[in-house]
Amino acid sequence: MLYTFLLTLLVVDGLILTAVVLLQAGQGGGLASMGGGTTDLVMGGRQAVTILHKTSWVTGALFMFLAVLLSITASRGQAGESDVQRRLRQQVPVQQQVPAAPLQTAPLPGATGSTGSTGTAGIAPAPLPAPVPPPKP
Please check the confidence at residue 19 and state whether its pLDDT lies above 50.
yes
Sort 59 into a burial class: Cβ within 10 Å, 0-12 / 13-18 / 19+: buried
Predicted pLDDT of residue 119 = 54
**What gap in Å lies between CA 15 and CA 83, rounded to an integer?**
28
Percent of the chain with pLDDT over 70: 55
pLDDT in tens, 28-67: 555 555 555 555 555 555 666 788 889 999 999 999 999 9
Please check the confidence at residue 137 and state whether its pLDDT lies above 60.
yes
Please check the confidence at residue 78 and state whether its pLDDT lies above 50.
yes
**Cα distances (Å, whole numbers) of residue 87 to 74, 92, 95, 118:** 19, 9, 18, 42
Please check the confidence at residue 111 and state whether its pLDDT lies above 70.
no
Spell out the residues 6+ positions from residue 25 whose beta carbon is closer than 8 angstroms to its own: none
94 and 23 Cβ atoms separated by less than 8 Å: no
pTM of the model: 0.46
Predicted pLDDT of residue 129 = 78
Predicted pLDDT of residue 81 = 67
Predicted pLDDT of residue 117 = 52
**What gap in Å lies between CA 31 and CA 76, rounded to an integer?**
43
Q: Which of 15-29, 35-49, 116-130 has the highest mean pLDDT?
A: 15-29
pLDDT band at 132 (very low <50, low <70, confident <90, very high): confident
- 30 or 92, greater pLDDT: 92
